[in-house]
Structure 1
Amino acid sequence: MNVLNSFPQTPDASLPIDTPLICFSHLRWDFVLQRPQHLMQRFSQDRQVFFFEEFIPTDHHLAYLEIHPFADTSVKAIRPRVPHWWSEAERDRALSRLLDDLILLHGGRRPILWFYTPMMYSFAQHVDAAAVVYDCMDELANFKFAPPQLKDMENALMARADAVFTGGVSLYEAKRDLHDNIHAFPSSVDSHHFRAARNSVADPSDQAKISHPRLGFYGVIDERLDLDLIRAAAAARPDYSFVFLGPIAKISPSDLPRAANIHYLGHKSYADLPSYLAGWDAALMPFALNEATRFISPTKTPEYLAAGRPVVSTKIADVVRTYGDTPGVFFADDADSFVSGCDAALAIALADTSWLEAVDRMLARSSWDATFKSMAMIVDQTAVDPPLPSALLGKNDILVHSERD
């Protein structure tokens, strides 16, 4: 696999700063802070960013937009409200009109359209855009309850997009023949934010009563987690405390493993994560190996490491590829090896911190600032020049961007 760090070149021109960016997302802005929020916050420093979310059914007889500002960012969340009895066709026509109104109300300038979900392309495809970007963070078609038309919409979006980004290398490899201007951008990290967990930090009140050793996970608790694996690990090590932070989605709370040493503390803010991590002895990624996790590249991997916590993970392809030789990262095939990985992680946590030197050198090459700069250059490049022909890259070339770009 060749790594091309010389592209993109700095463009001779760029999109005017008064070009608005409309980001279409299946995730709410204030749900979980991850890739979309990291990138859109940075784009909003130079241009107006609207975060267009999925519609919300309403009892009102008209469709309308709610605009939600937030105190900590200039990004505005756009939340369409649509009568719940309308058909899909009626809803899409209304959303198209509302999108047009949003553009006109803010100067009528040709916007950058940035998609995290292909489903919203159905009502945005008519827009005369300065650039169209598909940031394929996950293979949504493999997720639970995925709409049956999602793949067709993705094909239409790929045909229109000026640039395509993927959230990991495995996803890039699956899609690289579908577009001439496609780039792999694996998970990045705000190291400064998470390094605070390496210092002495007061234990949050709801975690302080939980006994050590503590092994923790944060993120959305859904069908991607291996619940049987969690149940088995907790049973095998009753003296270990297993802590889970995050909202529950697409599964019933009654399906979750329950034991005296398993603790669900609920959804926590991004700002509070370092204080919880500071109270953990090791971090967990007990993902199931299924279609929903086949292409994931979890952002929490570098975040856990930036916090100075050893990591125990199942063998997610992109995690093994990126962190297989990283000190402090342990991989498991089954419940027994996962438990052994927990033991090894706790052992290294009690040793000196020399293993973190290699970790920090690696993390220095994967900041969100660097990822944003590379993405922004590609978007500017596609707006003023034709995309780099795929024939110039070759089948085995992967564009992996870092602070060296």
Structure 2
Amino acid sequence: MINNLKDAQKNRLYKNKLSYGSKPQHYDMIVFSHIRWQFVYQRPQHIMSRMAKKMKILFIEEPLQYDENKDLGNLIIVDEKLHVLQPNVTEIESIAEIIPAYVKNETISFGWFYSAAFCPLMGFIDFDTVIYDCVEELSISKGTSADLLHQEKYLISQADIVFTAGKSLYESKKRFHNNVHCFPNSVDESHFSRALNGIAIPEDIAAVKSPIVGFYGVIDDRIDLQLLHDVAKKMPNISFVMIGPLTETAEANLPKEPNIHYLGMKYYNELPNYLKAFDIAMMPFKINESTHYLNPNKTLEYMAAAKPVISTRVNDVARDYSICVSLIDTADDFCESIKFLLEKRDRLSMEMEYYKILQDTSWNATVDKIDLTIKAFA
């Protein structure tokens, strides 16, 4: 597994491997991700849980140092063929020193990168095929360092295949690589269509007065909180529900109105139950550089639950779903869309459009196409 190291360093790594007393296993793929497995369930979890039906995968998260924990890392056994490693080290480069304690084979068939921050490890690990699954445009992301931008350029230059999570990202990355493929975020329709059945509505949202306009997902600086605040003030008889963890946004900055309800983070398995309570689903994203390349999973998830959708004009949403998603620019537009969808919408026509869209996509079909693309390269 270890190459491009001085012999002495290489020997030290394998000496450590023997002294750790663990049982290294054979893996077909190592995945490097800045998105933590136990955080919001999204693209990496959807893809890797399905890829693991065909190969054994070690999913490695960014380092998280635990001073009180002297172990090399925390290994989570998701199932027999999918393991998650939370490295207990101070920096990414140190992951190379602990990998031999977990991985038996010296050459790994596939190295799959969600974050370019892991690319220093490429000098330590021998991959037959390197894959970059690009989920965001780093050049316009807030707080992206110059080092990370250089690392992404290097990762793209070394990757055999580049995948993108949306069409706008594809248009950006195809300029820099000759083997780029667009596999937009998809949906597990059977999971979210449970909202159409007799499942229970959780107590915390059942206590909220209807009608409910709801959102779930990460609540960060991409959410237009001012828009949410303005609409809530204009429509005091509508309840606005926000479900999800706060990141990059302080609780003190959240708009406070009697009809805005923050219910916190919920597990993926709970989302259909909460979605069932929505009268309308919303995506109140800011329209700026940070959302230009966004392709929200939740668009199709809302459709699978047959919920009317209101969204700001996120590029990929406007391009693909303008026929059935109410696109808005201002708080007044938002209010008018809510009134229309509650009072006058043609539900049958909406559901027919949703059906057409959902017939053309699923995470199972997406992963099958990814698998074929990889095999075609090999």
Compute the TM-score of the two structures, normalised by the length of structure 1: 0.83
Is there any run of 5+ residues in structure 2 with no aligned partner, and where? 1-25
User: What is the alpha-carbon distance in structure 2 between the residues aligned to residue 165 and residue 286 of structure 1?
Assistant: 27
Query: Do the aligned residues in 2 keep the contact of 1:22 with 1:114 (CA within 8 Å)?
Result: yes
Query: Do the aligned residues in 2 keep the contact of 1:57 with 1:81 (CA within 8 Å)?
Result: yes
User: What secondary structure sits across from 1:32 in the alignment?
Assistant: coil
Query: How far did residue 61 of structure 1 move?
Result: 9.9
Partner in structure 1 of residue 336 of structure 2: 340
Query: Do the aligned residues in 1 keep the contact of 2:107 with 2:125 (CA within 8 Å)?
Result: no
Which residue, 76, 83, 98 being the options, matches 2:83? 76
Partner in structure 2 of residue 14 of structure 1: none
User: What is the alpha-carbon distance in structure 2 between the residues aligned to residue 60 and residue 209 of structure 1?
Assistant: 41
For residues 39-71 of structure 1, give each alpha carbon's deviation from its aligned partner in whole angstroms, at most 9, with x where no partner exists: 10011112111110000123369782221123x
Partner in structure 2 of residue 373 of structure 1: 368
1:282–1:61: structure 2 CA closer, same or farther, 3 Å change rule? closer
User: What is the alpha-carbon distance in structure 1 between the residues aligned to residue 71 and residue 154 of structure 2?
Assistant: 26
Partner in structure 2 of residue 403 of structure 1: none
User: What secondary structure sits across from 1:111 in the alignment?
Assistant: strand
Query: Do the aligned residues in 1 keep the contact of 2:27 with 2:58 (CA within 8 Å)?
Result: no
Query: Do the aligned residues in 1 keep the contact of 2:193 with 2:305 (CA within 8 Å)?
Result: yes
Is there any run of 5+ residues in structure 1 with no aligned partner, and where? 1-17, 84-90, 384-405
Query: How far did residue 377 of structure 1 move?
Result: 1.2
Which residue, 13, 33, 48 being the options, matches 2:56? 48
Compute the TM-score of the two structures, normalised by the length of structure 2: 0.89
Residues 3-402 of structure 1: pairs in structure 2 closer than 5 A: 20-59=28-67, 64-70=72-78, 74-83=81-90, 91-104=91-104, 107-326=105-324, 329-347=325-343, 351-383=346-378
Runs of 4+ in 1 over 4 A off after TM superposition: 60-63
For residues 202-232 of structure 1, give each alpha carbon's deviation from its aligned partner in whole angstroms, at most 9, with x where no partner exists: 2111111111110100000000100100000
For residues 148-203 of structure 1, give each alpha carbon's deviation from its aligned partner in whole angstroms, at most 9, with x where no partner exists: 31111011000111100111111111111111100111121111111111223321
Q: Supply the AA of the counterpart residue of 2:97.
A: R
User: What secondary structure sits across from 1:165 in the alignment?
Assistant: strand
User: What is the alpha-carbon distance in structure 1 between the residues aligned to residue 80 and residue 340 of structure 2?
Assistant: 41
Q: Supply the AA of the counterpart residue of 2:83.
A: K
User: What secondary structure sits across from 1:223 in the alignment?
Assistant: coil
Q: Which is bigger in relative contact order (C-alpha 8 A, separation at least 6)?
A: 1
Query: Do the aligned residues in 2 keep the contact of 1:99 with 1:124 (CA within 8 Å)?
Result: no
Query: How far did residue 259 of structure 1 move?
Result: 0.7
User: What is the alpha-carbon distance in structure 2 between the residues aligned to residue 61 and residue 215 of structure 1?
Assistant: 44
Aligned CA-pair RMSD: 1.8
User: What is the alpha-carbon distance in structure 2 between the residues aligned to residue 170 and residue 305 of structure 1?
Assistant: 21
User: What secondary structure sits across from 2:103 in the alignment?
Assistant: helix
Query: How far did residue 303 of structure 1 move?
Result: 0.5
User: What is the alpha-carbon distance in structure 2 between the residues aligned to residue 344 and residue 317 of structure 1?
Assistant: 23
User: What is the alpha-carbon distance in structure 1 between the residues aligned to residue 337 and residue 80 of structure 2?
Assistant: 40
User: What is the alpha-carbon distance in structure 2 between the residues aligned to residue 300 and residue 73 of structure 1?
Assistant: 29
User: What secondary structure sits across from 1:133 in the alignment?
Assistant: strand
Query: Do the aligned residues in 2 keep the contact of 1:63 with 1:94 (CA within 8 Å)?
Result: no
Query: How far did residue 354 of structure 1 move?
Result: 3.8
Query: How far did residue 144 of structure 1 move?
Result: 3.0
Query: Do the aligned residues in 2 keep the contact of 1:19 with 1:112 (CA within 8 Å)?
Result: no
Query: Do the aligned residues in 2 keep the contact of 1:224 with 1:288 (CA within 8 Å)?
Result: yes
Query: How far did residue 120 of structure 1 move?
Result: 0.8
Query: How far did residue 27 of structure 1 move?
Result: 1.1
Partner in structure 2 of residue 8 of structure 1: none
